[in-house]
């Protein structure tokens, strides 16, 4: 009798440790193909053919060939799609919920705090001209007049108003960033998140604004830390960018498609905003002909590695996902379910029922 199958659709565990855990639990592990992750490809039919006998799916991001509703419909025994990452934008979560399938994610501390720290590094690197100062020294230039940068803090006695920093999304990453910024005594720290209660804003020293337009109008720095959803896709489009100050900086360490890349590049080129720091892009790796590459020091680019830390990165997320798969296949509900609306119905179908007979 064949073993139940678990598909790792986007492989990230180079050690194979998580695969061995699944095998030790009694499952056959199928590994997705590297070409499934190549931008601009369409492998949906191939994946549909492989998942027919699969009881669980897990993996890192696979945005070029997302886990679509059609793929999940082809897997009649599928109980769970477990992501190694925080984001689930490459899974049709609404489709999974309709089909009674759990989707789990991995907002691990190492991942979230790593992103907050990288955001801080990008903020300082851009506003304090770290890259430009280093280059000037190497080129034999010294303390030029142009090397005067922004003072971040607030010193009212000396006439320094500080800056206003706007956080879009006060989840784990956004709130951690607020904690890190607290000792800096910025001019003002504001935030927008319709899914978070007032208490969290107060606890993290962030002034709540009523809408995204208000945040864009007031902020000298806008930093994005929201999930990619139907509501947030291209939230920062051409019209939204026009609401920002001409001296403002945009930081995106969330998901590439939260902003319209072409609109952002155009806004920087024509002076609508001053610049950007970007770690996440619509298609990755960033295309050689991307207009973002042609903006010089007005942009600071990072290869979607904001969460990468020594001993962190995807490692903890892989552990979470593996644990979640085993829990769900044993008939239990994991503690990191993203589409919580499906839990009651899922329990009615699978609660307490093990895939593997005792």
Per-residue pLDDT at 352 exceeds 60: yes
Q: Catalytic one among 117, 284, 308, 319?
A: 284
**pLDDT-derived band of residue 358, with 50, 70 and 90 as boundaries?**
low
Check: CATH 3.40.50.720 for 5-108+312-350?
yes
Bigger pLDDT: 94 vs 310 = 94
Poorest-pLDDT segment among 37-41, 92-96, 242-246, 297-301: 37-41
Same fold for the pair 5-108+312-350 and 109-301: yes
Mean pLDDT of the residues in the chain: 93
Domain boundaries, the chain: 5-108+312-350, 109-301
The pLDDT assigned to 38 comes to 82
Q: How confident is the model over 242-256, as a mean pLDDT?
A: 97
The pLDDT assigned to 107 comes to 87
- Percent of the chain residues topping a pLDDT of 70: 97
Query: Quick check: is 255 catalytic?
Result: yes
The pLDDT assigned to 158 comes to 65
Residues 6 or more apart whose Cβ sits within 8 Å of residue 219 = 164, 165, 166, 190, 244, 245, 248
Q: What is the pLDDT of residues 102-130, one digit of tens each?
A: 999 998 887 889 999 999 999 999 999 99
The pLDDT assigned to 156 comes to 66
The pLDDT assigned to 326 comes to 98
- CATH fold of 109-301 reads Rossmann fold (3.40.50)
**pLDDT-derived band of residue 162, with 50, 70 and 90 as boundaries?**
confident
The pLDDT assigned to 82 comes to 98
Query: Quick check: is 143 catalytic?
Result: no
Per-residue pLDDT at 159 exceeds 70: no
Q: Catalytic one among 63, 255, 257, 323?
A: 255
Angle CA 204–276–269, to nearest 5:
150
The pLDDT assigned to 1 comes to 60
**pLDDT-derived band of residue 155, with 50, 70 and 90 as boundaries?**
low
Query: Quick check: is 284 catalytic?
Result: yes
Contact 90, 227 (CB under 8 A): no
Q: How confident is the model over 284-301, as a mean pLDDT?
A: 96
The whole-angstrom separation of Cα 174 and Cα 201 is: 10
Contact 275, 263 (CB under 8 A): no
């Amino acid at each position: 009798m064949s073993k139940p199958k678990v598909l790792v659709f986007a492989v990230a565990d180079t050690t194979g440790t998580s695969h061995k855990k699944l095998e030790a639990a009694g499952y056959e592990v199928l590994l997705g193909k590297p070409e499934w992750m190549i931008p601009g490809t369409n492998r949906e039919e191939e994946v549909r053919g492989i998942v027919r006998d699969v009881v669980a799916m897990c993996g890192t991001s696979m945005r070029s060939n997302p886990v679509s509703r059609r793929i999940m419909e082809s897997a009649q025994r599928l109980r769970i799609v477990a992501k190694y990452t925080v984001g689930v934008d490459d899974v049709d979560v609404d489709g999974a919920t309709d089909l009674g399938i759990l989707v789990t994610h991995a907002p691990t501390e190492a991942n979230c705090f790593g992103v907050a720290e990288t955001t801080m590094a990008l903020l300082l690197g851009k506003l304090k001209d770290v890259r430009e100062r280093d280059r000037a020294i190497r080129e034999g230039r010294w303390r030029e007049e142009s090397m005067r940068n922004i003072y971040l803090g607030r010193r009212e006695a000396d006439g320094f108003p500080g800056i206003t920093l706007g956080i879009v999304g006060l989840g784990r990453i956004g709130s951690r960033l607020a904690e890190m910024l607290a000792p800096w005594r910025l001019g003002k720290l504001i935030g927008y998140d319709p899914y978070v209660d007032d208490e969290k804003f107060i606890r993290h020293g962030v002034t709540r604004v009523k809408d995204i337009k208000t945040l864009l109008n007031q902020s000298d720095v806008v930093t994005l830390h929201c999930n990619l959803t139907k509501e947030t896709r291209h939230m920062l489009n051409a019209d939204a960018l026009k609401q920002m100050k001409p001296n403002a900086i945009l930081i995106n360490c969330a998901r590439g498609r939260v902003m319209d890349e072409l609109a952002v590049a155009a806004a920087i080129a024509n002076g609508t905003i001053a610049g950007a720091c970007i770690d996440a892009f619509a298609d990755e790796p960033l295309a050689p002909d991307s207009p973002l590459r042609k903006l010089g020091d007005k942009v600071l680019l990072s290869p979607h590695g904001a969460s990468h830390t020594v001993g962190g990165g995807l490692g903890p997320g892989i552990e979470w996902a593996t644990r979640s798969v085993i829990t769900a296949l044993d008939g239990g509900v994991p503690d990191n379910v993203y589409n919580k609306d499906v839990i009651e119905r899922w329990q009615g179908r699978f609660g307490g029922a093990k895939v593997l007979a005792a």
